[in-house]
Structure 1
Amino acid sequence: MQPGWNLGNSLDSLCCGADETTWGNPRIDAGLFQAIKKQGFHSVRIPVSWGNHTGPAPDYLIDPAVMARVKEVVGMALDAGLYVMINVHHDSWQWVKDLPTKHDAVMAQYTATWTQIADTFKDSSTKLVFEPINEQSFEGSSGPDAGHRYMAELNDTFHRVVRSSGGNNADRLLVLPTLHTGADQADMDALAADISGLSDPMLAATTHNYGFWPFSTNIAGYTTYNAEVQKSLEANFQSQVDTFVSHGIPVIIGEFGLMDNYQTNVERGEYLKFFEDFGYLARTSGITTMWWDNGTLFDRFTRTWRDQEQFDYISTGWTTRSATASSDLVFVDATKKLNDASVTLNLNGLTFAQLRYGAGALKQGKDYALDGSSLTLKKSLLKRILGDRMPGATAQLQIGFSAGMPWKLNVISSAAPVLSAASGTTDASVVIPTAFNGDRLATMEAVYADGKNAGPADWTSYKAFSESFAPNYQDGTIQLTAQFLAAIDENRPVTLKFHFWSGQIVQYTITRTGTTVTGVAS
């Protein structure tokens, strides 16, 4: 089944009179699955939401037209040569969450739902896989232990219903999730014990992975794929190997990615490092991964990738590693004497091959120097590629290696950013005129004069990118969002520290009086 892809925001958007196009994707056809197969995927997860097309108790009949459409789509995917995994998806938070307080009613509907699905697909190819529920949590639960018992009840009921339905369901692969479909050790241990008790060799475990959360969303100062973030990902994979794989239980990471699905919050090079490392860990651990895509990654209208380079990193990881570097950004201060600039290569077991600018290969010794994993760009090269070195001048180099993707190195001439006075209101935003001078914003801190953290998420001084602030390089502005402004105290000045990728830090002070907010450079 490795690698896998998610058909998100299509059949799971079947809600309240909506159809599979409601969340912005086209109606599914056979060509979509043929295109996905051509991209190198072996499996597709098809999330399905059933509850809003289910009749009342006691029968809980699923709308025959909806069931027929799901069967048709599954058939298209199977005909394309893909393994297929279907589930009960948004029902988890729509009604299954009420299991602690409406136990009998929820279990009756859940049992009826899976009875109908199992009967419909019992004669389908064994390349069809079932997953009982998605990211399940429980409202009114007394705690994790109770949550594990409820989760086991759902998994066990699902197992009993499917296995007793006959046909190919007798030994079809069933994929059981942890509580929340997370990889916390206690949740995995509970699932491992449940799987052991079922004594069924055709069971797999499933979790989801959206990376180390502060990095995945760019909050709390986690702007880079640093050693802590990397170790967190490595530990996630290793714990699943130790808990499941080493005991003969396959693992499918049914959704993975970063929370920054639109690639606006996490810096580009750091973003790509995550996916490169994720692919390596999946391949070496033997864990199947299914990339979450709600239509923002593979354009289902044109059947092309919206971000080809991101896909190239992911697909390259199916067979080999790619090397990276300490950064994909090299800032050259336009106001100072020109000097050499260096980056550290993360070779990942590969070797350096060449450094290119445009269509030509650069010359070692003349244009650059290589000392172990340290790559130095000569000042003569910087002068040539940056020209007059006006702030904002850029050039892109490509570092080639013995295998994998080349690493793009963006060389940028910059000067200290300048922020001007601004005003706004808490129910709108404050837009700060900003001369970026070639620099790029990494993060923002917000503190009161007494040192206490200001704004939302006040457990950290570093605010969430996009949620609290957002740069607009084309317009030359930094926006402080209404959400951020509403969370600061009145008549209590807030010092903002804007951290830029060049290393520059610019201070700015904002003050809220009633609903009016004013800001000036500190």
Structure 2
Amino acid sequence: MAPRIGKIRSIFLAAILTVSVAVPLNIASADTKAQSSAATIVADLGAGWNLGNALEANSNGYPSETAWGNPTVTQALIDKVKAAGFKSIRIPVSYLRHIGPGPNYTINSAWLNRIQQVVDYAYNRGMHVMINMHGDGYKSIPYAWLICDASNQTAIKAKYQNVWQQIAWRFQNYDHRLILESMNENFDGQYGRPTQPCYSNINAYNQIFVDTVRRSGGKNSSRWLLVPGWNTNIDYTAGNYGFVVPTDQYRDPTIPSTERRIMISVHYYAPWDFAGEENGTITQWGRASTDPRRKSTWGQEDYLNSQLKLMYDKFVVRGYPVVVGEFGSIDKTSFDWSNNRYRADFGYAVAATAKRYGAATFYWDNGVNGRYGFALFNRSSNSVTQQEIINDIRYGAGW
């Protein structure tokens, strides 16, 4: 029953989006080979899912996948995620106090082995896998060090280069289905306009990441690499606020000069009062909402369209694939029994609009079911908990 209901509503939403979203078709000025390359990787990624609050969790600065209440990741969980229809998985990773002292900054071997094991759970099943450096740049995390407005930038950059070199060496023989992401939501911690020199340091981190991975050998010279702008914010990445796409001078010379192998990362949780704010005030979203009191005054379909069009106009037309590395909305059914309907509508709309604008999407799942949880699965029983949302994300992504 749930798949059928989800499908019917998705068809309705598709009609709405077809009318309300102006699909950009004039790409004559963009290089066609670069455009083809971007379209191919986005299509290959399909519908993506985040293994959130696992390998980026920590206790007193020591990463541990069970530190934030989730069970140990298993092959059975990843198999369930794939069986549910997700083609790709993003695995957030923190390193923190598992990095030794300088000048070598050696990553704890047991931790790196575990990261590789979890990657293999998905990679060996034919999925695309994305890993990043997640919590090391959060000021709110104990022992975070990748801080863009800290004074010791020379030491930070040396540490960053050494850590990424070790990660790149470990995965150098994995094929293009493994994607490396430089960092996550890095900014100065203030939710306002980007500041300098903080943004320049973020750009420098991205450049160090690209150069280090490319020069580390194996398949890294041609691997897809993902980089974010300021706090993965769309306006501050696509607008004139200081983001610089890294140069890619060390990549495999056999790759055509017109083809990009760098992807741009953004996140989407708008409107926040629906998607992330932990109260029961705003529980509905979109044109199908029935109670204006429960619907935000902003962040609806037109805003979603305008945000992803910004990314299209700035990056996709130039051949740089865009990845919405995180999106989703929290469970507020304890306040409004119909909330999951709008969460599914939101999931469909983000996936469908992103697809129209040449972007891939990864749903944020933090493993928490019930009030304020993002989870689509029960990680203890390896079972689906939100089939309707999964269905609509898949339909939106065209998968």
Fold shared per TM-score above 0.5: yes
Distance of aligned partners of 1:197 and 1:73 in 2 relative to their CA distance in 1, 3 Å threshold: closer
CA-CA distance at 1:125 after TM superposition? 2.3
Distance of aligned partners of 1:129 and 1:191 in 2 relative to their CA distance in 1, 3 Å threshold: farther
Instruction: Return the alpha-carbon distance in structure 2 between the equivalents of residues 63 and 191 of structure 1.
Output: 35
Partner of 1:290: 362
* Aligned-partner SS, 2:345: helix
2:268 to 209, 232, 238: 209
Instruction: Return the alpha-carbon distance in structure 2 between the equivalents of residues 54 and 66 of structure 1.
Output: 10
* Aligned-partner SS, 2:397: coil
Instruction: Return the alpha-carbon distance in structure 1 between the equivalents of residues 145 and 238 of structure 2.
Output: 22
Partner of 1:314: 393
2:71 to 16, 26, 36: 26
CA-CA distance at 1:290 after TM superposition? 0.4
Distance of aligned partners of 1:167 and 1:222 in 2 relative to their CA distance in 1, 3 Å threshold: farther
1:475-511 deviation per Cα after TM superposition (whole angstroms, max 9, x unaligned): xxxxxxxxxxxxxxxxxxxxxxxxxxxxxxxxxxxxx
CA-CA distance at 1:120 after TM superposition? 1.0
Alignment of 1:434-473 (within 5 A): none
Distance of aligned partners of 1:145 and 1:132 in 2 relative to their CA distance in 1, 3 Å threshold: same
Query: Matched residue pairs, number?
Result: 319
* Aligned-partner SS, 1:45: strand
Residues 148, 187 of structure 1: 8 Å contact kept = no
Instruction: Return the alpha-carbon distance in structure 1 between the equivalents of residues 333 and 238 of structure 2.
Output: 30
Tell me: higher relative CO, structure 1 or 2? Use CA pairs within 8 A at least 6 residues apart: 2
2:283 paired with 1:233: no
1:13 to 43, 47, 57: 57
Partner of 1:113: 163
CA-CA distance at 1:164 after TM superposition? 0.5
Partner of 1:4: 48
Partner of 1:56: 101
1:193-226 deviation per Cα after TM superposition (whole angstroms, max 9, x unaligned): 4246867721110100012223433769872266
Give TM-score, length-normalised by structure 2: 0.73
RMSD: 2.7
Partner of 1:129: 179
Residues 192, 244 of structure 1: 8 Å contact kept = no
Residues 54, 70 of structure 2: 8 Å contact kept = yes
Distance of aligned partners of 1:63 and 1:222 in 2 relative to their CA distance in 1, 3 Å threshold: farther
Q: Which structure is higher in helix share? A: 2
Instruction: Return the alpha-carbon distance in structure 1 between the equivalents of residues 396 and 248 of structure 2.
Output: 36
Q: Which runs of 5+ in 1 are unaligned?
A: 321-522
Residues 4, 289 of structure 1: 8 Å contact kept = yes
Instruction: Return the alpha-carbon distance in structure 2 between the equivalents of residues 135 and 236 of structure 1.
Output: 17
* Aligned-partner SS, 1:32: helix
Instruction: Return the alpha-carbon distance in structure 1 between the equivalents of residues 322 and 218 of structure 2.
Output: 25
CA-CA distance at 1:2 after TM superposition? 1.4
Alignment of 1:21-170 (within 5 A): 21-93=66-138, 94-97=144-147, 99-138=149-188, 144-170=195-221
1:96-116 deviation per Cα after TM superposition (whole angstroms, max 9, x unaligned): 115541211211211111011
Distance of aligned partners of 1:252 and 1:228 in 2 relative to their CA distance in 1, 3 Å threshold: closer
Residues 93, 131 of structure 2: 8 Å contact kept = yes
* Aligned-partner SS, 2:300: helix
Counterpart residue type for residue 327 of structure 2: F
1:377-432 deviation per Cα after TM superposition (whole angstroms, max 9, x unaligned): xxxxxxxxxxxxxxxxxxxxxxxxxxxxxxxxxxxxxxxxxxxxxxxxxxxxxxxx
Residues 30, 80 of structure 1: 8 Å contact kept = no
Give TM-score, length-normalised by structure 1: 0.56
- Mean alpha-carbon deviation: is it higher for 160-169 or for 225-234? 225-234
2:226 paired with 1:175: yes
Q: Which runs of 5+ in 2 are unaligned?
A: 1-44, 139-143, 250-256, 283-291, 369-374
CA-CA distance at 1:151 after TM superposition? 1.4
Instruction: Return the alpha-carbon distance in structure 1 between the equivalents of residues 335 and 353 of structure 2.
Output: 24
* Greater C-alpha radius of gyration: 1
